[in-house]
Structure 1
Amino acid sequence: MILYDYILSPGCYKARLMAALTGLELTLRAVDFHPGAEHRGPELLALNPAGSIPILVDGDLVLTESAAILVYISGKAAPAWLGNGQPATNARIQQWLSFSARLTASLGGARLHEMLHRPGDIVALRAAGVTALRELEAALFEQRLKNEAFLVTDRPTIADIACFPYVALAPDGGVSLDAYPSIRLWMRAVRSLEGFIEMPGIHRLHELKPDPHGLPSSSEAVEE
């Protein structure tokens, strides 16, 4: 199973993270996304005419959307990540997968503008990102009231992995996460998962800001 990968791409990171969390081995094929624009060259356009990454190739199967890649990896290696099979759970997961596209467009667009100088209205991108973060914060607060640490249930699903990277990297686009304690607690929960891996800009628990509730856990105190 080959992943056409760029180390700084949150979309590619979703696939790498999902594989790590489920124990699935991927063969990584590095793509010169910037400055080489290899994703728009003939080899990769033949796989994905949209000219985007990630691209996952497994035999004759080619997947070019990160949400589909998450479904495929978890379905092959750890189906529990797809939810409990109940219609309401399935629908909520799908809703968050759709929501993740808004994060990509807003927070991801602001990050590309700031890091790679991509054209865009940075004020509008940040405003859209803040709107999405407020929606996410409210939903996660409701989950906390039910003693559920993740977006859909009391255990992680592909919905969490779909939304996590662009939220965690929001500061790269000039959008602070300081005002969102429920989001910060959720990110801690994701980072604490067995098998969690890093990418540039997304680090392990010892790199986090102080717990929104004040005191670090004993395990975090040891790490620090």
Structure 2
Amino acid sequence: MAPPKLYTRKDSGNCYKVRLLAALLGIELEFIELDRLLNDQQHSPDFLAINPRGQIPVLVHGEKTFTDSAAILVYLAGSRSDPGTTETPSSFWSNDVAEQAAIVDWLAFASSWIQTGVALARFIVIFKGVSTLSEPALAKATTKGIKSLEILQTKLRANEWLALGRPTIADVAVFAYVALAPMGNISLDPYPAVKSWISRVRSLPGFIPID
């Protein structure tokens, strides 16, 4: 079967999560870069036929289509190096239901707390600019982002990794936007355990930085 196709954009943290995991696992992907600013390809008829929500990333592998970064991470990690097989999952996932739940707990944290906190603050500062209209939204995102980092600091003071005592897709999912928090004017300096964890993720074999 041909490599999975990833519809992606280089400036997207959610797309980066998928590219990072693929690099860590040595999975070959075919990248299809979408142009958000010039042609609004995410809302073109061709792309909406793939994902009616008009969002990326999207992974297409044979007849399978996944339209959420968390689902894509589970799919790739759950099948080791050949997505779609029934092989033993990579160390970034688990066959044990309790361990899966522990990982998914952090995936939910990434899609709610992180997405509406440090990720939203970055989006407002970098892509929209701070205006009188965006100031209340930025203040709310900053408050949520700081609380998220406090939660992570508490967890990572006593644990090297977020789930199972080893790197998993939980770390990949949370890492992307947390590492970029300073782009949203949220400093990581008050959170030394978080900064140490970021360094550990960056030291993983196969790690790639966001473009």
TM-score, scaled relative to structure 2: 0.87
Match of 1:155 among 163, 166, 170: 166
**What is the RMSD computed on CA atoms of the aligned residues?**
1.5
Match of 2:127 among 110, 113, 116: 116
Counterpart amino acid of 1:20? A
Q: Which runs of 5+ in 2 are unaligned?
A: 82-88
Residue 80 (1) aligns with residue 90 (2): yes
Aligned counterpart, 2:65: 62
Q: Please say if residues 81 and 158 of structure 1, whose CA atoms lie closer than 8 Å, have aligned partners that are also in contact.
A: no
Which structure: greater helix fraction? 1
**Separation in 2, partners of 1:185, 1:140:** 9
CA 1:176–1:157: 2 relative to 1, 3 Å:
same
SS of 1:81's partner is: coil
Residue 132 (1) aligns with residue 141 (2): no
Q: Please say if residues 42 and 55 of structure 2, whose CA atoms lie closer than 8 Å, have aligned partners that are also in contact.
A: yes
Aligned counterpart, 2:5: 2
Aligned counterpart, 1:105: 116
Match of 1:183 among 177, 191, 194: 194
Aligned counterpart, 2:24: 21
- The aligned length equals 195
CA 1:83–1:3: 2 relative to 1, 3 Å:
closer
Aligned counterpart, 1:45: 48
C-alpha offsets along residues 79-111 of structure 1, whole Å, 9 cap, x if unaligned? 233444444322211100100012112211111
Query: Could you tell me the percent identity over the aligned residues?
Result: 39
Aligned counterpart, 2:74: 71
**Separation in 2, partners of 1:84, 1:3:** 23
Q: Which runs of 5+ in 1 are unaligned?
A: 144-148, 201-224
Q: Tell me which stretches of 4 or more aligned residues in structure 1 moved more than 4 Å.
A: none
SS of 2:189's partner is: coil
Counterpart amino acid of 2:139? V
CA 1:39–1:182: 2 relative to 1, 3 Å:
same
Aligned counterpart, 2:86: none
- Deviation for aligned residue 1:37: 2.1
Match of 1:34 among 37, 47, 51: 37
Q: Please say if residues 2 and 26 of structure 1, whose CA atoms lie closer than 8 Å, have aligned partners that are also in contact.
A: yes
Match of 2:205 among 191, 194, 202: 194
SS of 1:76's partner is: coil
**Separation in 1, partners of 2:98, 2:34:** 38
Aligned counterpart, 1:89: 99
TM-score, scaled relative to structure 1: 0.82
Most deviating of 109-118 and 74-83: 74-83
